[in-house]
Amino acid sequence: MLPLVQTPVQKNVKHRKLLYDNVLQNIEQTTLAGLSTIRCRILRSIGIFRAYQRPTHEEVKRDLKAIRTELDELNQSAVASLDEGFEETLTLHRLGVFPLVGRSLKTTNVIESVNAMAEQRCGRVDHWKDSSQKQRWFAAALLDIESRLRKLSGYRHLPLLRAAIQKELGIHSPDRIISTAA
């Protein structure tokens, strides 16, 4: 059993980018350095997308801070949106596994898909006898939908993700051998 410690959380990068884009749509300034507002939004969107695609934690952080500095003069709401959960959006980068599993785990789509399928099976039940009944039904729903789930892109690298999390949390697991994925 894992000790009660703070577990690293990867916040949804796609959601963060959408919030950022929505805030930028409210910018009232019509030009910036001779560019139209629409062109500025497109360039910033590309910038934030490229920043999150950088391979190392330091590079991503540097690029996002540069975007933040640029935004600081234009819109404080956009800065607040970028600052909210800043470090959490960089969890996979900090752990050094973004190039391996980032494609699948940078959004919450994986868990939202599982939750939606389980909701289809358990959602109409109004009265649960107790919480153990609800847990049993949810487990049965998961077993039922298991055959329809696809493998994550980069699933072979999940042992490396686990090892990185254990290392960050200081959890030593000598009974398990963590192999490097090919």
Q: Domain ranges in the chain?
A: 13-95, 115-148
Helix and strand numbers (H, E) in the chain are 9, 2
Q: Which of 77, 79, 93 is nearest to 11 (CA)?
A: 93
Q: Write the pLDDT tens digit of every residue in 142-175.
A: 999 999 988 888 899 999 999 999 998 888 776 5
In terms of pLDDT, which residue wins out, 74 or 33?
74
Q: How far apart are CA 120 and CA 133, in angstroms?
A: 17
pLDDT of residue 166: 92
Query: Containing H/E element for 64?
Result: helix 57-72
Predicted pLDDT at 138: 92
List all residues 6 or more positions away from 158 whose beta carbon is below 8 Å from its beta carbon: 101, 152
Calculate the alpha carbon distances from 81 to 43, 48, 137, 164 in Å. Answer: 18, 13, 38, 28
Report the pLDDT value the prediction gives residue 154, as an integer from 0 to 100: 87
With the CA atoms of 10, 12, 13 and 18 taken in that order, what torsion angle do they form, in degrees rounded to the nearest 10? -160
- Tell me: pLDDT of 99 over 80: yes
- The pLDDT-based confidence of 1 (bands split at 50, 70, 90) is very low
Distance CA 46, CA 101 (A): 22
Q: How far apart are CA 109 and CA 113, in angstroms?
A: 6
* pTM (whole model) above 0.85: no
